[in-house]
Structure 1
């Protein structure tokens, strides 16, 4: 029957834990054998951080009353044997809700008051100010208390039209989308802007993050959802009602917030929920199924998706079936079909991406460590050649040999000044790259965009202001890549020269690929440009709203630029670590060679003893090399989960 999403996630978690353990063993082994230079240590640290902090975000998006919260209950929380997320009739999730796990925070629900929308700070900035959130402690062992606490995400307040307008829930230019006024002439709006739920649910502990979003009006009023959170989700589950299919407001959410031109749709799953409303005692099961399939095909055609990505489900019956252990009802609900699609699609793709990143890093790490072993091996070979050449030679020849080694050492010490000069030029060029990718540059661009958006009569020029900003950002990344190429060329030439003059075996590390950060920048640009083109010009004419969107953009760009800067820093460390390691090994080599000559001068048997020692050291190096290959092979060749391999190959 395949693997459910929950089981697949359990296996993914087990793989990550095993990988972290193997990584720790490799780190200790490298340290014990003095192979842990700063570049290798940095790669290990990054891999460990990546494994520990890897998150898989699944965003559930729907217009109101499509059964979204019930679907989350059925897939993730049926083990509590009751509803956890509020899922009664009508509007339930009024504010975007993130469910995740942070071991440093006690189990709690944190709620950000809706009034924070009147201030310019982006959501990411509010996360850094925990005291501004209302906190409700949770008892994870008491499902009734959890369910009661989670009902808070459905709370509303009634405000005047002016207040609703300021908060982004009332728009004079689109009166047909405005909520109804109550008898007192007030507008109903969510009480909370954002909710964070931190509980030690098994799946959340392993890195799953669930994003539960409210309907169209609420998504549109919170730009950070549209331009940051939803685009960064590894999968988006879009829920429709089976009896109505794709309505006008469903189509608006899909086109405005979930799909961009030329964007791949593989990470989008559409759920045709509430198929139980079509179960009809007056129709045969074949007739009912034919009706569901017609609705499925029509929905797929309207949304421009393959029909396989539209999955009919009854979340409510699936939850009931899991709670009551009713296998037949579970099968009829078709919930297992959706779980398999999530397992093979979301988890399968996520694992492929993570394994590819891990594999590349481990190969680079092995190359760095193997290079250090090769330097030692070459030095031993040189020593062995020298010592074998001394067999049968008299003391004056041995004394002459010592003088030659000391002269080599003096000449080598002079090379330090040349290497220092190389580093100075290297660092000067690197500073240009650091400036281009630095926080100051980004802040300047964001300040310029904010100023442009505050100009009078900007309404029609908003898109142009954004386009010009992104053009400059792309140009900056291209310049950083060009400068990196210059540095790489200089390093390659300098390393060749040092190898020729001093017998080093330096190799310029792989140049950082800044092109992928350009692609990330394109994705951000696409989501913002799309948002700008969706009738938001009037909103963007409001300085507060424009500021909030720029802050949301700044948050996303900062992540991209910090990652790019990290790649450049690692590249620099790899080059510097090679030089340091080879200088260190060469100095040790001189000391060992002089010690060997002294021992040979003191005792006739010293020469054969020293040759035997070096031969033993060569054997030990071969063993270290084999062990390095074995430890890293385990990390690279972690087998993919057998149950999903065919599905992954099919999708690929």
Structure 2
């Protein structure tokens, strides 16, 4: 049936482990050969962090009773031979639930009380306050205990309509979306705002994060879920019921909360679940399949997708087939078709992005290290010419040579002040750029947006306020890009002058690409504008809701700005590391030249011996360069066969 999502993800994990090992070997080799300057060390650190912390998030989104939790059970937890996520009638996920793995945290379920909605802090800030979460320890080897613990994400509590309104679950303007009013005048709302499940499932250990979201009413009440978590997921699986097709509430979720513009086709999959409800013993399999295909075509048309993005599945039968190892039923459930779409779409796309990013960083790292080797090679060539020029010369000429080297050394020491002046000017200009993207500037922008959204009345001008804010953010980013271009031009000219005056081989590092962060801003803006549909205009009339939305925006923008700042800082380190490396190598070169002259003065055979040593060192540099190409080449192109898992993925249940 081809490679399943589980197998493909296991291969991705194996590739990451292999890469991390090779990266460690490269780091040790560079350190052993004194090629690990500040810029190279920073690139290695970033690569290691990127590989270790790389996550692949798959978000499952659906209205209630579409079989979403059952689908998660079928794809990820069938190895436990039972349901793990609550999926029985009347028992469903009521709060957004993230399943992932953190080796520094014991296996546990952490639940954030719904009352935290009454406070302005966004989810990202609550994550940093573990004492506010209710924690339950988990036994990953006890399937029954796991399933029992996970049922807590389905817990509800009964509240008055006033309480429900304050928590964001009751809207007088949209009575059709409100929860049912009970005889006691109360309604059910989720007991928990957010759930974090930390378990050592093989896929989760390798970086998979599963986001299980509740229905429309719960999604709309949590802006951070819609504008941050779902848009940043690497794949979104939207689940419909095959017997009903696209309902009004399904369409509302799709249009208001799922951003499809500009996304890869593989990143958005629609599952037409519960096709087993259409299986009919009184009709031929051909007729049943024809009806499923018609429902598939209709759903694709309503959602504006190609039919290939709509996959008919029976999650329940797929889970049953995996538990009973029934190949025929598994085939009929069409679950393997969905797993292949996830594996080739999500994993293939994610691996390509990660490898492209890794390759770009390794090429830069190789250039930094190769430049140091070239400096050493040039210095050896100068020494060789100098020493060969001494052949047949008398003691007086050799003394003159020593005096000339000492004079050059004194002049070079004076040049150190010039180099420090260059660095000082560069740092001053860089600080001005960093200030444009710093936290104070971002806080000021968010304060202005908050003030506009807090104005009385329905926020029909909210879109305009957001558009103006993002126009200013993009202008700031363009200003930072223009300033960095000016600094780059200054560095290029200054480096050229230093090369001419002092024989350096400085080369201005590649200018940071700030344009890609403008694209990130566009994505953030799109997710927020999508959220500002008429359905949320009335919510924006509540100051606390507007504040929560802006805090969610600030959380995501901070990530974009910090990434841009990181690029600028690495650019600065690359320039500074070159200056430091060439100053250090030149000082060593003077020391080696004076040492050679001294040895020649003491022994007649010293000249030929030193020339032989330099020839040997030149040969060693060629070996060093070849090894650098070999080690970095292995990191750029990892053979596919090395990515294959050594054994099939197994679950210890």
Q: Any residues of structure 2 matched to 1:167-182 within 5 Å, and which?
A: 167-182=167-182
Q: Deviations over 1:170-209 (max 9, x none)?
A: 0011112111100101011000000000000000000000
Structure 1 residue aligned with 2:34: 34
The 8 Å contact of residues 3 and 643 in structure 1, kept in 2 or not, is answered as no
Q: Deviations over 1:97-124 (max 9, x none)?
A: 0000000110000000000000000000
* DSSP 3-state at the match of 1:416: helix
- The list of structure 1 runs, each at least 4 consecutive aligned residues, that deviate by more than 4 angstroms after superposition, is 260-264, 640-644
The 8 Å contact of residues 257 and 531 in structure 2, kept in 1 or not, is answered as yes
Is 1:460 aligned with 2:457? no
CA RMSD of aligned residues (A): 1.2
* DSSP 3-state at the match of 2:266: coil
Q: Any residues of structure 2 matched to 1:379-418 within 5 Å, and which?
A: 379-418=379-418
Q: Any residues of structure 2 matched to 1:570-609 within 5 Å, and which?
A: 570-609=570-609
Structure 2 residue aligned with 1:267: 267
CA distance in 1, matches of 2:166, 2:156: 16
Cα displacement (A) at 1:640? 4.3
Q: Any residues of structure 2 matched to 1:178-257 within 5 Å, and which?
A: 178-257=178-257
Structure 2 residue aligned with 1:649: none
Q: Deviations over 1:272-292 (max 9, x none)?
A: 100100110000001111111
The 8 Å contact of residues 111 and 196 in structure 1, kept in 2 or not, is answered as yes
Structure 1 residue aligned with 2:341: 341
Cα displacement (A) at 1:265? 3.6
Cα displacement (A) at 1:264? 4.3
Cα displacement (A) at 1:259? 2.6
CA distance in 2, matches of 1:173, 1:600: 95
Is 1:304 aligned with 2:304? yes
CA distance in 2, matches of 1:109, 1:30: 43
Q: Any residues of structure 2 matched to 1:85-484 within 5 Å, and which?
A: 85-90=85-90, 92-457=92-457, 459-484=459-484
Structure 1 residues 469 and 238: alpha-carbon distance in aligned structure 2, compared to 1, 3 A threshold: same
Cα displacement (A) at 1:455? 2.4
CA distance in 2, matches of 1:462, 1:123: 22
Structure 2 residue aligned with 1:72: 72
CA distance in 2, matches of 1:620, 1:447: 60
* DSSP 3-state at the match of 1:61: strand
CA distance in 1, matches of 2:171, 2:564: 40
* DSSP 3-state at the match of 2:237: strand
Q: Any residues of structure 2 matched to 1:413-562 within 5 Å, and which?
A: 413-457=413-457, 459-562=459-562
CA distance in 2, matches of 1:340, 1:103: 29
Cα displacement (A) at 1:262? 4.7
CA distance in 2, matches of 1:152, 1:413: 70
The 8 Å contact of residues 260 and 527 in structure 1, kept in 2 or not, is answered as no
Cα displacement (A) at 1:502? 0.6
* DSSP 3-state at the match of 1:65: coil
Cα displacement (A) at 1:352? 0.1
* DSSP 3-state at the match of 1:239: strand
CA distance in 2, matches of 1:334, 1:236: 19
Cα displacement (A) at 1:535? 2.5
Structure 2 unaligned residues grouped into runs of 5+: 645-653
Q: Any residues of structure 2 matched to 1:622-641 within 5 Å, and which?
A: 622-640=622-640
Worse overlay, 404-413 or 30-39: 404-413
CA distance in 1, matches of 2:367, 2:251: 51
Cα displacement (A) at 1:424? 1.4
* DSSP 3-state at the match of 2:72: helix
CA distance in 2, matches of 1:389, 1:457: 88
Q: Any residues of structure 2 matched to 1:9-48 within 5 Å, and which?
A: 9-48=9-48
Cα displacement (A) at 1:452? 2.1
Cα displacement (A) at 1:156? 0.4
The 8 Å contact of residues 14 and 643 in structure 2, kept in 1 or not, is answered as no
CA distance in 1, matches of 2:259, 2:433: 34
Worse overlay, 123-132 or 416-425: 416-425
Q: Deviations over 1:50-91 (max 9, x none)?
A: 000000000000000000000000000000000000001245
Structure 1 residues 406 and 642: alpha-carbon distance in aligned structure 2, compared to 1, 3 A threshold: closer
Is 1:8 aligned with 2:11? no
The 8 Å contact of residues 459 and 540 in structure 2, kept in 1 or not, is answered as yes
Cα displacement (A) at 1:557? 0.6
Worse overlay, 441-450 or 373-382: 441-450
Cα displacement (A) at 1:458? 6.2
Cα displacement (A) at 1:643? 11
Structure 1 residues 3 and 263: alpha-carbon distance in aligned structure 2, compared to 1, 3 A threshold: closer
Cα displacement (A) at 1:465? 1.9
The 8 Å contact of residues 260 and 268 in structure 2, kept in 1 or not, is answered as no
* DSSP 3-state at the match of 2:538: helix
Cα displacement (A) at 1:268? 0.2
The 8 Å contact of residues 458 and 538 in structure 2, kept in 1 or not, is answered as no
Structure 1 residue aligned with 2:650: none
Cα displacement (A) at 1:461? 2.4
* DSSP 3-state at the match of 2:486: helix
Worse overlay, 132-141 or 301-310: 301-310
Cα displacement (A) at 1:266? 3.1
CA distance in 2, matches of 1:261, 1:80: 38
Cα displacement (A) at 1:642? 10
CA distance in 1, matches of 2:631, 2:240: 49
Q: Would you say how many aligned residue pairs link Structure 1 and Structure 2?
A: 644
CA distance in 2, matches of 1:523, 1:401: 64
CA distance in 2, matches of 1:490, 1:516: 23
CA distance in 1, matches of 2:119, 2:544: 7
Q: Deviations over 1:226-272 (max 9, x none)?
A: 10000000000000001111111111111111135454443100101
